[in-house]
């Protein structure tokens, strides 16, 4: 962690004696790489989301924290002790987590799972010059772990982690034991095991781009030598996993290795110590000489024992690359003995996970359970993981999504989908609260629009409320850049802009309105709304751009013959969406297809890709801007809500307008731009549409202005810039702008601002400031009251009240901050702040006045 971050961590609440912030929600998608996810024996799942390591609780189905520190995307994670270290896990409250990133950095974290505390322990010495692709390790004693890392630089490094036993939950130290060069074709998968009856010897399997599995033997000192190669796969080796030693048919301690490849097959390799096999395998050789000679692999020596490798089974069932294989975690028997279940979980790009087990009578390995589906919705799974008790399985997919199933059967297996966290898997560019504040709408470069809301328990409404993704209104073919909610009465509507010249208007379907009612346990604002809404849901078009409505009356009429609709027209939208009213939070497949909103209008006019958009507070005008390098293209367009006609083209800026906002009484429109200028327009609604006049334009900062925000109770506003400054201004005499204050220099570029007032009489409020480094600060602002026709009647007072703990914050640029408008039922001392950023996350904070 950088010194600056460390200072802010220690002084996070020193200045804010009367204000504290608490994390309410984190929404994030998983980085789309193999080996990114690790399910620990502590019960938490670790994964990389952009440059952060996120931890989520499968029990609660929510992300509990993100850990800052990496400067590049996180590629892989590893818990120590692992789920295989059942003897070392017992009674442990402190677990360690390793994470490797795309710049070759490996970090270690200490997690006190019982207390919910975590801390950054150390950054490992820089042995790798390129991205880390896999981490694998095992505990070799209660206080020592050996682990290996591989990178695309062709180096495999063996490390030792020593946990300080002197204090409970003590720190650890890591040292590099050995570095192996594997040549021009790097290894992408590793597995490490302790050899049976050879307590001091380890075996390391590595596989990669040369289609071979390389077996190395070594000791606890970390000196590994190559033992043999296993050939058979015809494409990249993607995953390897050693079992614990297994007792089979009188033989002692067989070790099994399972491998998977892009050739769509899985191979199980058996390693038998020569001493144990000498009596049982001789008769077999005589009886089945041809088959045995075919499946027998090489012989290798470790310590004083030689091991015979043979191909136990070849598993064929997946229809695409098999990215992941994992043995079911062992269970602890009485007498400190670990039992290895003969069960393997595989995950593939065909969007299926399979469990493979030997058939009882013949011993042949068969696919006993399949979850997921051969699906139309994008690509499949990058990895599959067992829970330590073997009752739940987790996959992470191409869309940054998690999929979890749990065996809820009593007499027989019955694997059912479970609720998991979800979120964007690319930078989140904008977000907005619904006009009622009931939910949050975000847009991202992952080409989706998502709705997050607190889901209340219908059985026990007083229970803990967890935030869930409840709908995905837009799945687009272009990166989404901006969104605004249309205020005022009527149905829920929003306008979004993407990397295209068209803005699109969406309207909530009946299925969403009823789902929202289920989530909030509130009655709708207007009882007639449900009757007036004729659209049940929406279908995705063939090109993934427009979303066509599914009407309530059409759905009823066509449902009897829907199954027989095999004509050519049915190919246009495959599959048809099934709009659903959800009584519990939807899972990924439901979100991806059955929660779309219909597109009602397109707004044509801009010459380049949309960049910024906003709506007035009456819900009558929408303003939009696009990327621009000339004054003609940098126009702000005004659109009339309802008719959706262009009613104004505002000219002032020379480069892209980065943000716009209407004053709370809709008298003024504020805009800021890459040209370092701010502009104030007066806006008045007319019968023909709207009239506008440029009130003021001035160069406000020395660098790009990224953000602006009005005081909700007056005509003061704030601007934030790449020059690391925030300035507060007021509109003077409805004809000019005056600078009221310049806040002290910030540590990084200011990229997001949001002003919220809590006392109209004293004009007191709080200004949230988001920065390029992901950090957030709160500043109190009071005084300086100004109206459109007067000068401020009291001096402006500003002070920093809270610097958020870096663990709460984003790890990359904050793109947007939004306060939720307080409702009549809210506590006066509590505010909710939403943020989104380049680290793929959407966050909600509760800000409480503690005085």
- What single string gives the DSSP state of each residue in 678-720? EEEEEEEE-SSSEEEEEEEEEE--SS-EEEEEE-TTSSEEEEE
| Neighbouring-strand partners of residue 136 | 148
* CB of 381 closer than 8 Å to CB of 395: yes
Q: Is residue 414 part of a domain?
A: no
Q: Identify which of 709, 696, 703, 697 has the alpha carbon closest to the alpha carbon of residue 675.
A: 703
What's the CA gap between 824 and 829, in Å, rounded? 12
- The DSSP string of 423-463 is --SS-EEEEEE-TTSS-EEEEETTSEEEEEEEEPPSS-TTS
Q: Which domain holds residue 779?
A: 428-547+583-850
Tell me: cis bond preceding 81? Omega within 30 of 0 counts.
yes
What is the tens place of the pLDDT at every residue in 775-798? 999 999 987 665 444 445 568 889
Structure letter (DSSP) for residue 465: P
- C-alpha pair distances (Å), 335 with each of 87, 332, 647: 11, 9, 81
Structural contact between residues 226 and 216, judged by C-beta atoms closer than 8 angstroms: yes
Question: In this predicted model, what pLDDT tens digit does every residue of 203-226 receive, in sequence order?
Answer: 999 999 999 999 999 988 878 899
Asked if residue 359 and residue 466 are part of one domain, the reply reads: no
Q: In the beta sheet, which residues pair with residue 741?
A: 728
What b/e sequence results for 787-797 when a residue is b if at least 16 CB atoms lie within 10 Å of its CB, and e otherwise? ebeeebeeebe
Alpha-carbon distance 49 to 835, whole Å?
Answer: 16
H or E segment and range at residue 529: helix 529-532
Contact 271, 255 (CB under 8 A): yes
Give whole-number Cα distances, 457 to 418, 510, 511, 584, 731, in Å: 16, 22, 19, 9, 47
Task: Answer left, alpha or beta for residue 432, where phi above 0 means left and psi between -120 and 50 means alpha.
Answer: beta
The CATH code of the domain that includes 696 is 2.130.10.10
Q: Are residues 519 and 592 in the same domain?
A: yes
**Domain boundary residue among 345, 374, 408?**
408
What per-residue confidence (pLDDT) applies to 736? 86
The reported pLDDT for the residue numbered 405 is: 95
Kindly state the tokens that stand for 265: 């097959």
What CA–CA distance (Å, rounded) separates 526 from 534?
A: 15
**Which of 355, 373, 408 is the last residue in one of the domains?**
408
pLDDT < 70 stretches in the chain:
1-17, 113-116, 165-170, 198-199, 247-252, 275-295, 335, 374-378, 458-463, 523-532, 541-545, 553-575, 784-794, 824-829, 850-851
HSE (CB half, 13 Å, CA atoms) of 253?
A: 15
Residue 513 is classified by DSSP as H
Same domain, 643 and 770: yes
Q: Residues 479, 389: one domain?
A: no
Which tokens is 697 given? Answer: 């334009």
Could you count the other beta carbons within 10 Å of the beta carbon of residue 461? 9
Distance CA 693, CA 734 (A): 11
Tell me whether residue 370 is in a domain: yes
Half-sphere exposure of 836 (CA within 13 A, CB side): 30
| 398 and 467 housed in the same domain | no
Give the separation between CA 457 and CA 463, rounded to whole angstroms.
6
Nearest-angstrom CA–CA distance, 608 and 637: 13
Q: What six digits make up the tokens of 630?
A: 């000339």
Same domain as 523, residue 446: yes
Strand ranges across the sheet with 224-230: 187-194, 201-208, 213-219, 224-230
Residues 610 and 753 grouped into a single domain: yes
Q: What is the pLDDT of residue 377?
A: 52
Between the CA of residue 503 and those of 152, 638, 645, 659, what are the distances in Å?
42, 12, 12, 16
Same domain, 393 and 439: no
Tokens of 746: 């910030």
Same domain? For 464 and 393 the reply is: no
Give the whole-angstrom CA distance, residue 672 versus residue 699. Answer: 10
Residue pair 505/538 in contact by the 8 Å Cβ criterion: no
- The CA–CA distances, whole Å, from 478 to 286, 377, 500 equal 65, 17, 7
Q: How many domains does the chain have?
A: 2
Query: 541: Cβ–Cβ under 8 A, 6 or more apart, which residues?
Result: 547, 548, 572, 573
In a domain, 138, yes or no: no
Instruction: For residue 62, report the phi and psi dihedrals to the nearest 5 degrees.
Output: -140, 155
Q: Are residues 344 and 395 in the same domain?
A: yes
Last residue of a domain, one of 379, 408, 437: 408
Per-residue model confidence (pLDDT) at position 783: 78
Per-position DSSP letters for 272-325, written without gaps between them:
EEHHHHHHHHHHHHHH-HHHHHHHEEEEEEETTEEEEEEEEEEEE--SS-EEEE
> Is 595 inside a domain boundary?
yes
Find out whether 819 and 21 touch, Cβ atoms under 8 Å: no
CA distance 707 to 700: 12
Task: Report the half-sphere exposure of 699 (CA within 13 A, side-chain side).
Answer: 5
Runs of H (alpha helix) within 572-639: 588-594
What's the CA gap between 691 and 272, in Å, rounded? 85
CB atoms within 10 A of CB 762: 14
Phi, psi of 279 (to 5 degrees): -80, -35
Q: Does 535 fall in a domain?
A: yes
Give domain status of residue 136, yes or no.
Answer: no
Q: Which residues pair with 631 in a beta bridge?
A: none
Which 8-state DSSP code applies to residue 210? T
pLDDT of residue 16: 40
**704, 750: one domain:** yes
DSSP-derived letter for residue 800 is E
Q: In a 3-state reduction of DSSP, which class is residue 328? A: coil
Mark whether 397 and 438 lie in a shared domain.
Answer: no
Helical H segments across 549-645, by residue range? 552-558, 588-594
In the block, tokens 């799945």 appear at: 475
Give domain status of residue 556, yes or no: no
Q: How far is CA 681 from the centre of its chain?
A: 39
Asked, for residue 767, whether it belongs to a domain, the answer is yes
Residue pair 81/145 in contact by the 8 Å Cβ criterion: yes
Rounded to whole angstroms, the Cα distance separating 150 from 216 reads 14
SS3 514: helix
Map residue 485 onto helix, strand or coil: strand
Planar angle of CA 661, 662, 667, nearest 5 degrees: 155
DSSP type of residue 531: H
Buried b (16+ CB within 10 A) or exposed e, 547-576: bebbbbeeeeeeeeeeeeeeeeeeeebeeb
How far apart are alpha carbons 141 and 139 in whole angstroms?
Answer: 6
Residue 543 is predicted with a pLDDT of 59
Residue 29 is given by DSSP the state P
What secondary structure letter does DSSP report for 831? E
Cis peptide before 575, with omega less than 30 degrees from 0?
yes
The whole-number pLDDT of residue 363 equals: 87
State the Cα–Cα distance between residues 219 and 302, nearest whole angstrom.
9
pLDDT recorded at residue 198: 65
What is the rounded end-to-end Cα distance, in angstroms, of the chain? 32
User: Radius of gyration of the chain from Cα atoms?
Assistant: 30
Could you give the count of Cα atoms lying within 13 Å of 238 in the half-sphere of its Cβ?
A: 28
- Residue 778's beta-bridge partner residues? 768, 802
CA angle 343, 148, 420 (to 5 degrees): 50
By residue count, the chain amounts to: 851
């Amino acid at each position: 962690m950088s010194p600056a971050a460390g200072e802010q961590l220690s002084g996070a609440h020193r200045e804010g004696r009367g204000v504290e912030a608490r994390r309410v929600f984190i929404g994030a998608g998983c980085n789309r790489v193999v080996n990114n996810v690790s399910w620990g024996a502590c019960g938490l799942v670790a994964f990389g989301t952009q440059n952060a390591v996120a931890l989520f609780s499968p029990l609660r189905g929510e992300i509990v924290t993100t850990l800052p520190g990496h400067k590049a995307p996180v590629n892989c994670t590893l818990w120590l002790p692992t789920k295989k270290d059942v003897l070392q896990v017992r009674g442990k409250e402190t677990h360690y987590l390793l994470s490797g990133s795309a710049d070759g950095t490996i970090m270690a974290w200490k997690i006190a799972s019982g207390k919910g505390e975590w801390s950054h322990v150390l950054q490992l010495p820089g042995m790798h010059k390129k991205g880390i692709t896999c981490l694998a390790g095992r505990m070799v004693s209660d206080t020592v772990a050996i682990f290996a890392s591989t990178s695309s630089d062709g180096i495999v490094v063996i490390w030792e982690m020593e946990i300080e036993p002197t204090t409970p939950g003590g720190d650890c130290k890591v040292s590099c034991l050995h570095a192996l060069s594997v040549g021009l074709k790097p290894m992408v998968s590793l597995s490490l095991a302790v050899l049976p009856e050879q307590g001091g010897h380890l075996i390391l399997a590595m596989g990669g781009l040369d289609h071979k599995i390389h077996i190395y033997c070594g000791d606890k000192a970390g000196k590994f030598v190559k033992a043999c190669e296993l050939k058979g796969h015809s494409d990249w080796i993607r995953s390897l996993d050693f079992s614990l030693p297994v007792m089979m048919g009188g033989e002692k301690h067989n070790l099994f290795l399972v491998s998977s490849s892009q050739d769509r097959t899985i191979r199980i390799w058996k390693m038998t110590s020569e001493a144990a096999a000498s009596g049982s395998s001789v008769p077999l050789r005589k009886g089945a000489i041809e088959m045995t000679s075919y499946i027998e692999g090489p012989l290798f020596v470790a310590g004083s024992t030689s091991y015979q490798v043979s191909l136990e089974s070849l598993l064929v069932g997946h229809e695409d690359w098999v990215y992941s294989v994992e043995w079911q975690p062992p269970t602890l028997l009485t007498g400190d003995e670990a039992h290895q279940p003969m069960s393997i979980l595989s995950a593939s790009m065909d969007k299926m996970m399979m469990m493979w087990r030997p058939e009882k009578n013949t011993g042949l390995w068969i696919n006993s359970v399949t979850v997921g589906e051969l699906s139309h919705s994008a690509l499949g799974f990058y990895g599959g993981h067992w829970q330590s008790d073997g009752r739940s399985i987790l996959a992470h997919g191409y869309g940054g999504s998690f999929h979890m199933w749990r065996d809820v059967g009593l007499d027989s297996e019955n694997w059912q989908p479970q609720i998991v966290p979800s979120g964007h898997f690319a930078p989140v560019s904008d977000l907005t609260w619904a006009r009622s504040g009931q939910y949050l709408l975000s847009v991202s470069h992952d080409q989706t629009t998502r709705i997050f809301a607190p889901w209340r328990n219908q059985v026990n409404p007083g229970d803990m409320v967890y935030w869930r993704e409840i709908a995905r209104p837009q799945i687009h073919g272009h990166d989404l850049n901006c969104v605004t909610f249309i205020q005022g009465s009527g149905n829920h509507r929003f306008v979004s802009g993407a990397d295209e010249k068209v803005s699109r208007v969406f309207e909530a379907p009946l299925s969403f309105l009823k789902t929202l009612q289920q989530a909030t346990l509130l009655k709708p604002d207007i009882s007639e709304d449900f009757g007036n809404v004729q659209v049940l849901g929406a279908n995705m078009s063939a090109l993934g751009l427009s979303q066509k409505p599914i009407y309530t009356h059409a759905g009823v009429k066509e449902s009897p013959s829907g199954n027989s609709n095999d004509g050519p027209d049915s190919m246009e939208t495959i599959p048809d969406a099934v709009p659903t009213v959800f009584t519990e939070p939807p899972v990924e497949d439901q979100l991806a297809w059955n929660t779309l909103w219909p597109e009602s209008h397109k707004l044509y006019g801009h010459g380049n890709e949309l960049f910024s958009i906003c709506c007035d507070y009456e819900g009558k005008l929408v303003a939009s801007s696009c990327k621009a390098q000339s004054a003609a293209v940098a126009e702000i367009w005004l659109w009339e809500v309802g008719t959706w006609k262009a009613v104004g083209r505002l000219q002032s800026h020379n480069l892209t307008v980065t943000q716009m906002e209407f004053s709370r009484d809709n008298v003024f429109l504020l805009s800021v731009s890459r040209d370092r200028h701010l502009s104030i327009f007066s806006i008045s609604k007319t019968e023909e549409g709207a009239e506008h006049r440029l009130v003021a334009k001035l160069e406000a900062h020395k660098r790009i202005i990224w953000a602006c925000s009005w005081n909700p109770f007056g005509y003061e506003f704030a601007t934030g810039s790449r020059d690391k400054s925030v300035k507060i201004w007021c509109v003077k005499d409805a004809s000019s702008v005056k600078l009221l204050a310049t806040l002290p220099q910030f540590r990084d570029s200011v990229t997001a601002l949001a002003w919220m007032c809590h006392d109209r009489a004293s004009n007191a409020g709080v200004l949230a400031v988001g920065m390029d480094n992901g950090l957030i600060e709160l500043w109190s602002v009071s005084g300086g009251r100004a109206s459109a026709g007067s000068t401020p009647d009291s001096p402006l007072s500003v002070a920093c009240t809270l610097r958020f703990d870096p663990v709460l914050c984003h790890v990359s640029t904050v793109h947007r901050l939004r306060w939720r408008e307080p409702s009549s039922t809210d506590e006066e001392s509590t505010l909710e702040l939403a943020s989104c950023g380049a680290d793929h996350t959407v966050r909600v904070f509760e800000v409480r006045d503690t005085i």
